[in-house]
Structure 1
Amino acid sequence: METMIEEQSLETNRYAKCIAASRRVRWDIDRDVIRGRSFDFTKKFLPDALSKVDSLALVSPDERRLLSQIQGRTYANMFGLVERFIAAKVLDMSGPYRLGDQIALEALVRFSDEEIKHQELFRRIEQMCAQGMPAGYAFLPEANSVASYVLAKSTWAVLALTCHIELFVLAHYRGSIDGDTNSSELWKDVFLYHWREESQHAILDELEWQREDAKLSPDERDKAVDDLIELVGAIDGMLQTQAHADASYFSAICGRSLTMTEEDAVRNSLLAAYRWQYILSGVQEPRFSRALNSMITENQAARIAMAMAPIMM
């Protein structure tokens, strides 16, 4: 009994620390991030470590910058999409705390409020990109349809996916954006402020995921692993579709006719970059691997690895 009380006290303390951090880093879209600025289209939007455009030898430096800007626009739209289902799920997860642990409730309500703010930020960024880029860009996934598909899966799988997303946001900032000197200053601030709040969200994701895992029977967890595999497969299908659309947009606006070899290279480069940005950078994050592997069997880990193999090629 004493051990259980100590564990509950430790969890409550972690929720309280997230609340304190949320209050400390709280930011406003106009006052802190945009600050009356517009995008500098003479600069890249994503650093090379994320966009992977430096590995594409078939295009010029100006074309690499354009590809980076297209990827940045898709990055904004992707986060506007994923935060739709994250916000909905976090609100759902707060339900059991409404007449219980008020500290945990406040932490999750703050989490959902911040995710809704992030959706608004990325909608604003998409509008600003549209003002400075030629017509013809299309983000094909529909946020509500994707959210409905994701939220129909088991809570364990949705929380696993959410934790993966929050952690790769942190990895992107630490490994690619912090210290980058070649990208748009406004874009760097978007990443900075997004990272500041997602740092708390990742902690809450892990807490709620572990809490959910403790409720499951072995058979329920096995089905949840299948759900997670299906979610990753669906995301990869979405990335393939968007990579094709973005390659076509680039071909239409780059100012010259691309050969078939160049078109294929651009499309393959975009898909590799998107798989890195939205799947592999999270899967390879040690913190995510530790959390996942602490909950699953060797057989389940092998099934996940088999499903991931085509994506990692």
Structure 2
Amino acid sequence: MQTHTSTTDPRYAKTIEASKKVRWEIERDIIRGRRFDLSQKFLPDGLSMIDELADVLSAEQQRFLGQVQGRTYANMFGLVERFICAKILELSREHWLGDQTALEALVRFSDEELKHQALFRRVEGLVADGMPEGYEFAVSPNDVASFVLGKGTWAVLALTCHIELFSQAHYRQSIDPAEGLSELFKDIFLFHWKEESQHAILDELEWLREDAKLGSDAERDTAVGELIELVGGVDGILQAQAQADTRYFLRTLKLAESGPLAERVGATVLKAYRWQYIVSGALHPHFQKVLGTLVNEPQMGRIQAALAPLAYAVPGEKMAKAA
């Protein structure tokens, strides 16, 4: 019986090589017996948008709100990696009796995503040890995974590619160059970035492979509609978590839970979350490039119209440059 050992696209093999080189372990390479230093920031201002509240919150209050956001940031990655891992395992089936290089690449991908979920559970435990009680992560990873995986593979891979790309951009452009951040927090996302770099390549390859299966504009219209539904679902999650995090912040610091300050904090947290998890990925040049090759002009118009209400959610500096 013939065994397939090569792939038509050399990028599958390249991701395997890179995966072997950057392989890391949670305790040995990242945690190393450390705890979080709560005198330090977790997220840079370019992600948290905390600087937009500098006129109403003290430096200590800003730092704590940023730490709340950083806690949610880690939990959100643990959340999305639940459905990403499940989808990649599902896709690997299509390579079982075919391209063994592609199969190995996807198996490594899923193994790393399982490790990432364990990492972010570990992070949550460490943060919970140091921060006041009362924090809530308002969404169930399994419920979200069930919703996402109920959509077609094209839409799920589009969302996944978007996530992998923005996770890299966040690290390279914001977290890595930032000064004064928790060294442990920075290390967590350094090592996460090292493996996500391969995942983004595989997401794109599998997305293109899935796109080739679509036989008509009607099928692609349906796929685009499902992607829009997924983005709407993500935004619903962000709204719920922004409310939960704002409530935790205000209660912990014994600030009024209603009124102008509460409204402004809540709006800023939601804006930051929309930037972090939707808009920064939608604006990523490579995501726009790939998506632009897969959809026609009316379909792209539908996507842009769905994203239009979120277009405000960019950091102030970026908004100024775009104007």
Scaled by the length of structure 2, the TM-score of the pair is 0.93
User: Post-superposition shift, 1:10?
Assistant: 7.1
State the alpha-carbon separation in 2 of the partners of residues 287 and 280 from structure 1. Answer: 14
State the alpha-carbon separation in 2 of the partners of residues 9 and 300 from structure 1. Answer: 35
Counterpart of 2:315 in structure 1 is none
Counterpart of 1:155 in structure 2 is 153
Q: 1:51 aligns with which of 48, 51, 64?
A: 48
Match for 1:290: what amino acid?
K
Match of 1:36, SS state, is coil
User: Post-superposition shift, 1:312?
Assistant: 1.6
Kept in 2, the 8 Å contact 1:12–1:103? The answer is no
Counterpart of 2:287 in structure 1 is 288
State the alpha-carbon separation in 1 of the partners of residues 298 and 179 from structure 2. Answer: 44
Match of 1:294, SS state, is helix
| CA-to-aligned-CA distance 1:123-145 (integer Å, 9 cap, x gap) | 00011111111111000110001
User: Post-superposition shift, 1:11?
Assistant: 4.0
In the alignment, does 2:270 pair up with 1:266?
no
In the alignment, does 2:31 pair up with 1:30?
no
User: Post-superposition shift, 1:255?
Assistant: 4.4
User: Post-superposition shift, 1:258?
Assistant: 6.4
Output aligned runs, 1:75-154, within 5 Å. 75-154=73-152
Output aligned runs, 1:182-261, within 5 Å. 182-217=180-215, 218-257=217-256, 260-261=259-260
State the alpha-carbon separation in 2 of the partners of residues 61 and 111 from structure 1. Answer: 40
| CA-to-aligned-CA distance 1:182-206 (integer Å, 9 cap, x gap) | 1100000011000000000000000
Counterpart of 2:302 in structure 1 is 303
Match for 1:242: what amino acid?
Q
State the alpha-carbon separation in 1 of the partners of residues 300 and 94 from structure 2. Answer: 30
Divergent runs of 4+, >3 A: 8-12, 255-259
Q: Which runs of 5+ in 1 are unaligned?
A: 1-7
Which structure has the highest helix share of the two?
1
Kept in 2, the 8 Å contact 1:58–1:265? The answer is no
Match for 1:276: what amino acid?
W
Label 1:10 to 1:95 Cα distance change in 2 as closer, same or farther (>3 A): closer
Kept in 2, the 8 Å contact 1:46–1:71? The answer is yes
State the alpha-carbon separation in 2 of the partners of residues 142 and 256 from structure 1. Answer: 28
Kept in 1, the 8 Å contact 2:75–2:137? The answer is yes
Question: Which 10-residue stretch deviates more, 143-152 or 172-181?
Answer: 172-181
Match of 2:212, SS state, is helix
State the alpha-carbon separation in 2 of the partners of residues 90 and 248 from structure 1. Answer: 36
Label 1:177 to 1:11 Cα distance change in 2 as closer, same or farther (>3 A): farther
Match for 1:231: what amino acid?
L
Superposed CA RMSD in Å reads: 1.3
Match for 1:307: what amino acid?
A
| CA-to-aligned-CA distance 1:13-53 (integer Å, 9 cap, x gap) | 11000000000000000000101000000011111111110
User: Post-superposition shift, 1:282?
Assistant: 0.4
User: Post-superposition shift, 1:219?
Assistant: 1.2
State the alpha-carbon separation in 2 of the partners of residues 121 and 207 from structure 1. Answer: 26
Kept in 1, the 8 Å contact 2:44–2:175? The answer is yes
Kept in 2, the 8 Å contact 1:118–1:194? The answer is yes
Scaled by the length of structure 1, the TM-score of the pair is 0.96
State the alpha-carbon separation in 2 of the partners of residues 9 and 144 from structure 1. Answer: 35
